[in-house]
Structure 1
Amino acid sequence: MIPCSNRIQEILEWVNGDCIADIGCDHAYVVCNAILNHQSKKGYACDVAQGPLDNAKKTIAANNLEDFISCCLLDGIQGLAFDVDQIIICGMGGKLIIDILSKGTLFFGLRLLLSCHKDDFALRKYLKDNNIHILREKMIYDNGHYYPILDCIVQDHPQEISNACLHFGMHMIMNSTYSSYLDFEENKYKNILLKVNKPEFLEKIEYIKEIRNQRIS
């Protein structure tokens, strides 16, 4: 396995497509490790810029994976090969991920592995509105930040998601990292309320309580 960050290792745990596409691939650590770990049979390293693709090509060549991974200069997922059964989009803001998904072709049964560093509410709302079901989520902590990872599948009907889950995670794995994240968020909104008394911040705290009550029940 190619050495990589904790965030990439956590993403790799949920890679399970026979043919995957790593969008915004950077050095192609995700797709290369997926092939090396026998999690996938084939992959595409995709980016909108040539620089990252040049880095990806070096990683692919260094690990003798040229027969298994192709580099693609693409704007998001537009023009992506039709044999892809899992798309991985990580390390971007939620609104950029939304923009990428909205411009591509998503077919029934396609798996999506998504991770954003901000705007996760907007991303979950988009998924809900576009019949993309969140199968599970996990919260990770890496380099001083919390990141949700969403394992999703394209369906032909909407998924019911509560407002609490839209804000703080759907089918989230209940572990110590997620508990710490909820504590962090609750303290953040309590501190904000000391300065600005607005209903939306009180609402966020109530959502966190709802999530915690679900965990207890």
Structure 2
Amino acid sequence: MATELTILQWTEILLDENVTKDLDIAIFQGLYSFDGQKAPASQIGLLLGYTGKNTSSPLNLEIGRYAKRIAEHYEINFTERSTRKFKYWDLFFNGWDEEPFFIWQLRPELKEALEETGLTGEEQYPEEIPIDEQTTLTEGLKRTILVNTYERNPKARQKCIEHWKPVCYVCEFDFEKKYGDLGKGFIHVHHLVPVSDIGRTYQVDPINDLRPVCPNCHAMLHKTNPPFKIEELKIKIKHL
């Protein structure tokens, strides 16, 4: 029996609505949106709107159901735990502990199948500096871009903007009011926690850690290292 699925098999599975549900695609898209397609499992649960102490629990339940649905069509030898239970997530992800989190990373074959089927959910934000330009930047600017890996994450952005609305948290500029439909929903997202304070593994809370800001205020927040606090920039604006 096979222990891994091929790209072709994953493509068939992803396109089979009887096997792959919307939640399964949402889990994969959430993970794909992170650099290296890896993140704490609980982070993906948080981005999908789950709350509580363990936001990965609903995902683990669904992944188990999903693996069993796949096993009805493909012969799979699931990895057995010492407790004689199976690691169902092992079919989809590489996984390891980085205290206090458990990290998931999309398996390469699944990643390629998502790309081939156009199901990555990836979005581009041309107004922001691409992450892959990190190596050409100075050390100070690299720190800004590392913060932007969360700021640019489409799932985190969506949650942040849904909560705070697409209005600048600093100067209250509203692109839709100024530009009409052209500006509807347009905004940058700023990370409140300086990158120097972020550990090796970090879980972002889109509502508590991120704020919508206009491009001008975003640039001004990052004029210093560490960045200005939002309240500091608000005070500067008021005294002009």
Q: TM-score, length-normalised on structure 2?
A: 0.27
Higher relative contact order structure (alpha carbons within 8 Å, sequence separation ≥ 6): 2
Higher helix share: 2
Higher strand share: 1
Q: TM-score, length-normalised on structure 1?
A: 0.29
